[in-house]
Amino acid sequence: MSTATISDTTNSKLGSLIHSWSIPPGREWSCPGESTLCSVRCYAKRGFFRMPNVKDSHVKNFVFSETAEFENWMLSVIAVNYVRVMRIHASGDFYDIPYIQKWVRIVKQSPRQLFFAYTRSWRKPELLPELIKLAGLENFQLWWSLDRETGPAPLIRGVRRAYMAISDADARCAPDDCDLVFRDKPQTPMKKANGVQVCPPENGVQTRVQKVTCSRCKICWNKKNTKWETELSPYLYGNDQEINAPSLK
């Protein structure tokens, strides 16, 4: 019997619509593409995530994810919990090729569900082809995670790009071809950073409506064109600078 678990829909940021799957963060566990800055500022290494029961649960998830039973278990859990949207890795990342391939098969067999994930594993060339396959699935939105140490991410059709800013000054230096900016410890209200939208739950703007959550916002799993495709593609097509995510229907 599995001891692995997915989250329920009570996460204060994700909101009432989204379940999530998590494993331990860090290069020693599941983050082969993490930068030094990411390692130091990782939200999944502090606060709630440091509670012993949470850390123990994520370790059990990681161990189980390496087994042959993981795929069928995840499919059954998705069905039993009536999952509509799942964030893969509220903590952790895609750590090797077999693990990514498992998620490709899970997502393909769950056409009624929507999935999304953020990853720095694009920095590992051996993992990139499998991540591109995952990005090509119609019900999956993949995001490249960047910060000022990662270097530029590859331009992959359908893959959006998010910049982690460690200060307001850093946010103003976000690449203007990104689609979203996350702020670690925001200091002032900021709807846009260098012309790029700031994650609404993190923009610091006070509203009279209900608290903005990922469930209400919906940016993260909206399969719209990436900003670079919309604004830069006329200059890139035909120059071998863009890779198309294949369709895996």
- 178 touches 195 (CB < 8 A): no
Per residue in 42-98, pLDDT tens? Answer: 878 888 788 888 999 999 999 999 999 999 999 999 999 999 999 999 999 999 999
If you search the block for the tokens 């009279």, which residue do you land on? 208
Phi, then psi, of 180 in degrees rounded to 5: -160, 150
Look at residues 79, 69, 88, 95 and name the one whose alpha carbon lies nearest to residue 4: 69
Distance CA 221, CA 239 (A): 29
Query: What one-letter code names the amino acid at 96?
Result: D
Handedness of CA 107, 111, 115, 120 (dihedral sign): positive
pTM above 0.75, yes or no: yes
More confident residue, 211 or 108: 108
pLDDT category of residue 201 using cuts at 50, 70 and 90: confident
Helix (H, G, I), strand (E, B) or coil at 217: helix
Phi, then psi, of 93 in degrees rounded to 5: -160, 175
pLDDT given at position 121: 97
Task: State CA 113 to chain mean position distance.
Answer: 16
In this structure, are strands 18-21 and 114-119 parallel, antiparallel, or unpaired? unpaired
Q: Which of 142-146, 170-174, 197-201 has the highest mean pLDDT?
A: 142-146
Phi, then psi, of 47 in degrees rounded to 5: 60, -135
Res. 208: pLDDT tops 80: no
